[in-house]
Structure 1
Amino acid sequence: MRGYESKKIFHFDNLYRQNPKEYSHFRLYQIGDLSCKKGYLIEEHEQECFEISYIYEGRGSFIIDGSKYFLAQGDVCINAPGELHSIHADGDEYFRFFYVGFDIKSSSRYKKLFMDKLRTIRYIDKPYFEDKNNIGESFLYALNELSNANEFSELMIESCLNKILIKTLTSLSNIENPIYKFNNILGTKKELIYNTISYIDYNIFKIKKLKQISNSLGYSYSHLSHTFKEEIGVTLQEYFLNKRIQKAKELLIEKNQSVSEVAETLSYQSIHSFSKAFKNAVGVSPAAFQRNKSIKI
């Protein structure tokens, strides 16, 4: 990993690219722990293997194939081979993250299962998720074994890495974004509404224009808009704006993203257009909302 050395606090890097460590289901190429200050940059490079990163402290942006994702403490990011990838420490506080680089062995009895799940990275809305399975704890145990090795360390490390991989793949299963189809017995209108709402939920960070929704679902915008209003009681535009503002509130309070970061994450054309839409909907500016955390989300 390359970066600005003056911004680096410490880097516990274990690199095995020339001689990968062999475990039952995967080859380990790299595992480490990096702590840095605001402004630290890992320059763009091509990903050589799968990589799982866990944000232990602070905030940073991961730029993957030109798309920028803002990650905070407790988030897990997954990178696939061939992706162009860089990392930037954004927050005012320290930024620290753990990482592991690996590939799946062809001899693993679970190779198909693992690879099928890992391939979904390319089809999900965002290549990261909030850790709800104690993935960070497994990283800590693995890194501790590496720095305090004993006769059982290799077994412990393999156990921890298995947990990191399996917990990550389990989480991936929960964030895949298929458009689920109702049985036709429920009626085509209800099916269309459900599919529309599902599409918005899973693609909230990508939608820039409402026509993206109708085009993706294979309907004209006028037909979709009319049906949505008829069935739900609010226009498609009103529903989408409400979902977008609700997500903005979560990012401002729970993720502590800046106003500019939220505007970019939610694909607004500018900070001004985001701030105007937010104030019209909420009654206060995004900055005022973030300062006054007593306001209910």
Structure 2
Amino acid sequence: MSNRYRHIRLKEQISINKIYSFHYNELNKDYVYLGEQHNFWEFLYVDKGEVEITTDFSTFHLKQGDMVFYTPNEFHSLRCNRKTPPNIFIISFDCQSSAMRFFSHKMLRLGNDERLLLSQLIEEGNKLFVMPIVGPHAHPPKKPKHPLTRKEKPEFGAEQMIKIYLEALLIRLIRNNREQTPKPKLSSITKEKGDRELVRRIVDYLEAHMSDHPPLDRLCAEFALSKTQLRAIFREHTGCGITEYVGRLRIERAKQHIREETSNVTEIAEQLGYSSIHYFSRQFKKATGMTPSEYLKTMKAQM
């Protein structure tokens, strides 16, 4: 009976079944990583700030939104710019697919769609792995200080979703950077309302006015949206409400100021619009599990 039905066996042009590392790092502005090499692929994505990467073949200056790939057995080192403490995301993995040659010695800039896939990949990683905030060591020990470890009860399908998102990200990067097709521009604000670009603009505005605590009415006027529309589109694309998102932004900005060591805790609390240093410390510990001073000690220990 089954012979009556014609089928097509699906091909896999990129297939990944082994992951060696998966971590999000918040680095000190003076951080230097002397380097390593290993017999599997790795990419590094800059989520915030800037880093300088040196490999066997070139030196790359990466800014927010940039990604660099290391081929198997390619030496690579990292240096921060001593000005801005960067946040980076690193995955190393095994892939024998011939299509991976496209990424050899290459730096790429991610678009909105690729960044979305990357954020989904990180989200699934948080569901599967125990991922402390760590920085690589200047002299890596023989055994990793924080080996990749599954959670005791990971969410159903998390491993497969990581495989899917990682393969999809690599496929999209190859497609987009081969074709180089110009993307059509949005013609009006009406089209933007249903797009991630609008949310990006709202986030940029919130970052620029973080200490002002912009009320919802001002945001509605700024982006020509009703309160219902604003709340709905923001939650759809960020997974949380505006107040919660601003709270996260303030903590991330606080962590950056602490790593820069240009302001003390009282000054940071004032700059970010907290009503008191005590309230700031409570919110910081609630979000990170550490007081501001404990966080600074942790960052210094990485150097």
When the two structures are superposed, what TM-score results if normalisation uses the length of structure 1?
0.43
Which structure would you say has the larger RCO, counting Cα contacts within 8 Å and 6 or more residues apart?
2
Larger fraction in strand: 1
